[in-house]
Structure 1
Amino acid sequence: MRFTPARYASPLLLTACGAISVFAYAPVNAFALMWLALAALFLVAGKAENPKRAALLGYVWGLGYFCANIYWIFISLHTFGGMPAWMAAGCVFLLAVYLAIFPALGAWLGHKLGNTRCIRVGLTLPTAFVLTEWLRGWLFTGFPWATVGTSQLPMTSMAGYAPILGVYGISLILALSLGVIAALPRNPKAWGAVAFTWLAGWGLTHVEWTQPIGKPVTVSLVQGAIPQDEKWAQEHYLDNLRIYLRLTRQAKGEIVILPETAIPSFLSDTPDWYLDYLRAAVAPRALVTGVPLTGQHVEEYYNSVMFLTDPKMPTYSKHHLVPFGEFVPLPWLFGWMYHYLNMPLSGFTPGGTKQAAFAIGPTTRLAANICYEDVYGREIIHALPEATLLVNVSNLAWFDGSWAAWQQTQMSQARALETGRMMLRATNTGMTAIIDNHGKLVSVLAEGKRGILEGTARNYVGMTPYARCSDWLALGLGGLLLVLARFLRRKH
């Protein structure tokens, strides 16, 4: 095969376009860069001579996309996990190699289903891309980090579609809008249809899908800012307990929330005097804290949140565990990694799919989720309609110095929009935040700062269309579009 610069320029360009998408997300929030990244993929893949070439182009785009968007995993593996730098970088790259399969599959399928360049770019490539993006968030427990629709929230009019179609529906509308404009750049009707769709989204942002109930409640979100290399060290154990006890005593809210594993020991190993001091510090108010729990069997333990001041001490145990961080998938294949990692409590047991919200006072029904569980919109809605308020407790010290906390907060904002509930975030090192039911940040405590975020929250009742139907509306719409593409193919 003869060397042709243009043939190799396109993959390099697509890799760069995929990589710059990281700036579309928080904290930069240059959301228009996602438009550029996706439009470039659809245009170049749409011109490919065959589906195989389109898949290659989708793959190199995905490689740039994921290497840029999951770079922070290196910090947890190397800086805090103790893995050699070359090995940690290799593991992150291998994960990107796997994740890039999904946009490659979308490009292959989109090219194969479209028999003309116009149909490919405007219809089949955008639709297939989003359907395979959903597949990425589901297959092998799923990894929906950096879903393209999230990059548009909550600052664009796409936020209006979140309570109806969820973040994958936003991905679909965004991808189709860009595909239509790229396929028909001089067609006024195409521009008009896209403009109408985006204006309709702005109109939908004014629709109230849920209603406030009862009086506002004051909340205190405690951020201990304990470095990861000290959090589990035995010599710092009592100091860490004292930090959270001191902050709890200073908290003023009716509901005081401590982050994931704020108590860095199993509840059964935690001194009784300490638990009594915590309860006394807030009585008669409510205290919710992260604490690991042991189970009934040997080596059965849970990453949990406990309503400590309730006499029954109800708990929520994390259901969706982090692969390689909280459990080892396929131990016979990946068990070798743990010879290099220093990760405490890496063999958690998953909690139940549906767990009761904490009943606090007359109206508050607080549904907890832990760590990156707020990435999964379809799982957060399991707490509805009972839950009136959502809380995420996390320890993101594993990724200090990266944008991971900002990116996850943006996903929490998406969950608030999808459910029509406020989302509270209590973290060890940041971002501790209060998010309203429209996905807007009400207040944030600076990353790395030891302190308390005091604020007010409202309880909400009612069900958004997304809370009722989950991702099925978006998936159904995508399926109908592929049927339309099949019809157009026969017509031509």
Structure 2
Amino acid sequence: MSRLMGWRAAAIALAAGVLHTGSFAPANAWYLQIIALALLFATIERATPRAAAVGGALFGFAWLASGLWWLHISMHQFGGIPWLLAALAVALLAAFLSGYYALALGLVARWIAPGRWRLLALAPAWLLAELARATWFSGFPWIASGYAHTVGPLAGWAPWVGVYGISALGALAACGLVLLKRGATAWAAPALLLPLAAALLPQDFTTSTGHLAVSLVQPSIPQDQKFDPARFAANLETLARLVESARGQVVITPESVVPLPLAELDRATLERLSRPDRPALLGTFLGNADEGFVNSVLALGGDYSYGKRHLLPFGEFIPPGLGWFVRAMKIPLDDQARGDHQRAWAVAGQRLRPLICYEDLFGEDIVQSAVGPDAATVFVNVSNLAWFGTVMVQDQHLQFSQMRALEFQRPVVRSTNTGATAVVDHHGAVTTRLPALVRGVLEAEVDGRTGTTPYARWLALLGLWPLWAIALLTLIGLRKAAP
């Protein structure tokens, strides 16, 4: 290690990565995100290309391993993988994902000589790494750095540039802190002030479409009982009683709350869940063994269904050559088919757009539902995080819903198996939430919204390509400007 990067610098990079994790939910300490990056950037500002890459790798590994450790629970406790192998799998995932940051920062150090120009170039390089992690190999942008800013001064940029634009602005602010520490005030000022300029921008782009009373079901079925055939009858009875007690205009149930293909659900239970006076979205599986099963929500008593489109590697589709690993975990319905549309569900004077589990990490996938005359007025996330325990993962996922609410200025309602069942308003604030592992129905009222944010407008037209272009052109300009 000492030949690649000094021990002190390596320790700082590792510590800064763990500090970076602390900036996300549940702590919501947005300022730590900027401080952590500033520590990393100060460490590699004058480093060799190899040392800069190692610094990026160590930072990324510490950040992602400490932020994704809960994946171990699903593999070991529910998948039956020995704890050491499960821990190794999480470590390998963190190491792989940290490679994006190692590559980006190492290339900057190779292309631009040490100094202020290189330091400024670290911000667009960071953006490129974040974009690559979000899109390549199906994408896995969990706790991307911009998510730390669902609160704080950078949150106002969300309806303009989205989570990855905020990632770049946070990195720019980190550069500003380092420049300020170096005494380069004239250089530091714009790097620090630009991220704060959101306060000067218009913030209201949507208007109310009226109120909707929703009943969000949280059955709190332990994961080891959810797919146990011996427990199906008891679990469905619990679900039926919760739905019958609901008082809202619309009832929302969690992902896969009926953990078997709908065709196998007995008619008596289906009739208890179907109330003509109260529309409901039921989490189940549609399709068949020949064409594939689709993780879906079905409007009971209506003609609407939605199937999950962005599938989770290993949990919902099997990457080529890795079937042995997935089979070892014995995940039910582990190789699924994709849904085929993004249409919203028109009900009770609103248009509800379902998002199943981690689909709400991909704003670029769902943006078409936020523009045009048939745009959704409310986003609905249905999830089952019982695979992963309650520590960190539920709060992190709720934070992603907050960012989608900020970007598109739509409320997000969440119905989950064990948490976080909650309501997020169009300003990204959590207005009400059920405690984790509590069985019940969250009765709430949401304000549907119509209109289009600047971010939704350009994202729907061009995707994430403008951010790729800005990052690359900025790097080229800084390389040419550098002595």
Structure 2 equivalent of residue 410 of structure 1:
399
Give me the whole-angstrom Cα distance separating, in 2, the residues matched to 1:195 and 1:13.
Answer: 23
The match for 2:116 among 103, 115, 118 is 118
Letter in 1 for 2:79: G
Offset of 1:242 from its aligned partner? Answer: 0.8
CA distance in structure 2 between the partners assigned to 1:211 and 1:430 by the alignment:
29
Partners of 2:416 and 2:159 in 1: CA distance: 26
Q: Secondary structure at the match of 1:383?
A: helix
Question: 1:360: which partner in 2?
Answer: 347
User: What is the CA deviation profile of residues 177-214 of structure 1, one whole-angstrom value per residue up to 9, with x for unaligned ones?
Assistant: 1113313432443454345324422343x62111112x
**CA-to-aligned-CA distance 1:21-69 (integer Å, 9 cap, x gap):** 2211111122222122201111111120x21221111111111111111
Query: Where does 1:23-422 land on structure 2 (aligned, <5 Å)?
Result: 23-48=22-47, 50-121=48-119, 123-153=120-150, 155-185=151-181, 186-204=183-201, 207-213=203-209, 215-280=210-275, 283-295=276-288, 298=290, 300-310=292-302, 312=303, 314-330=304-320, 333-352=321-340, 354-361=341-348, 363-385=349-371, 386-422=375-411
> 1:208-259 CA deviation, whole Å, 9 max, x = no partner?
111112x211111010001001111111101110111101111111011000
Q: Kindly indicate whether the alpha-carbon contact (under 8 Å) linking 2:4 and 2:50 is maintained by their aligned counterparts in 1.
A: no
Percent of aligned positions that are identical: 36
Partners of 1:335 and 1:234 lie apart in 2 by 24
Normalising to structure 2: TM-score of the pair? 0.94
1:442 equivalent in structure 2: 431
For residue 29 of structure 1, give the secondary structure of its aligned residue in structure 2. coil
Q: Is the 8 A contact 1:217 1:254 kept in 2?
A: yes
Mapped contact 2:279–2:299 kept (Cα < 8 A): yes
Q: Is the 8 A contact 2:159 2:407 kept in 1?
A: yes
**2:108, 2:456 → 1: CA distance?**
29
For 2:351, give the aligned amino acid: R
Contact 1:259 1:428 in 2 (8 A): yes
Distance across 1 between alignment mates of 2:380 and 2:269: 24
- Matches of 1:55 and 1:441, distance apart in 2: 38
Contact (CA 8 Å) 2:255, 2:417: kept in 1 or not?
Answer: yes
> Match of 1:289, as an amino acid?
L
Q: Give how far 1:387 is off.
A: 1.0
> Structure 2 CA distance, aligned partners of 1:60 and 1:76?
25
- Structure 2: any 5+ residue segments left out of the alignment? none
Q: Using the alignment, how far apart are the partners of 1:4 and 1:263 within structure 2?
A: 56
Residues in 2 aligned to 1:480 and 1:179: alpha-carbon distance in whole angstroms: 18
Q: In 2, Cα distance between the equivalents of 1:484 and 1:415?
A: 32
Q: Give the corresponding residue for 2:19.
A: 20
Report the AA paired with residue 367 of structure 2: I
Native 8 Å contact 1:42 1:126 kept in 2: no
Gap change, CA 1:195 and 1:107, over 3 Å in 2: closer
Q: Give deviations 1:8-31, integer Å, cap 9, x for gaps.
A: 221122112112222111111222
How far has the Cα of 1:285 moved from its partner? 2.1
- Quote the RMSD (CA, aligned, Å): 1.8
Amino acid aligned to 2:396:
Q
Query: In the alignment, is the contact (CA less than 8 A) between 2:255 and 2:383 conserved in 1?
Result: yes
Amino acid at match of 2:117: I
**Cα contact 1:110–1:129 (8 A) shared by 2:** no
Once residues 36 and 167 of structure 1 are traced to their aligned partners in structure 2, the CA distance between those partners, rounded to angstroms, is 18
Matched, 1:459 2:448: yes
Question: Could you say which residue in structure 1 is the equivalent of 2:474?
Answer: 481
* Alpha carbons of structure 1 residues 382 and 8: separation in structure 2 relative to 1, 3 Å: same
Cα distance change on mapping 1:127 and 1:198 into 2, 3 Å: closer
Q: Does the aligned pair in 1 maintain the 2:104–2:125 contact within 8 Å? A: yes
CA distance in 1, matches of 2:94, 2:113: 30
Paired residue secondary structure (1:137)? helix
8 Å contact kept, 1:110–1:126: no
Q: Give yes or no for contact 2:261–2:287 (8 Å, CA) kept in 1.
A: yes
- For residues 186 and 290 of structure 2, the distance between their equivalents in structure 1, rounded to whole angstroms, comes to 65
Q: Which amino acid aligns with 2:334?
A: S
Preserved contact between residue 160 and residue 203 of structure 1 (Cα < 8 Å): no
The question of whether the paired residues in 1 share the 8 Å contact of 2:154 and 2:196 is answered with no
Q: Residue type matched to 2:8 in 1? A: A
- Tell me the amino acid that sits aligned with residue 158 of structure 2: A
Q: Which amino acid aligns with 2:205?
A: W
Which secondary structure does the structure 1 equivalent of 2:211 belong to? strand
Q: Deviations over 1:439-476 (max 9, x none)?
A: 11011110000011111111211111111222344333
Q: How far did 1:401 drift? A: 3.4
Q: Provide Cα deviations, 1:107-165, integer angstroms capped at 9, x if missing partner.
A: 112213322421111x1112101111110110010110111011121x11111111110
Cα distance in 1 for partners of 2:195, 2:326 equals 48
**How far apart, in 2, do the equivalents of 1:45 and 1:193 lie?**
21
Q: What is the one-letter code of the residue matched to 1:348?
A: Q
* Cα shift at 1:482: 1.5
Unpaired segments ≥5 residues, structure 1:
none
Size of the alignment, in residue pairs? 475
- After superposition, the C-alpha distances for 1:82-118 in whole angstroms (9 at most, x for unaligned) are 1111111111111111011011012112213322421
**Does the residue aligned with 2:399 lie in a helix, a strand or coil?**
helix
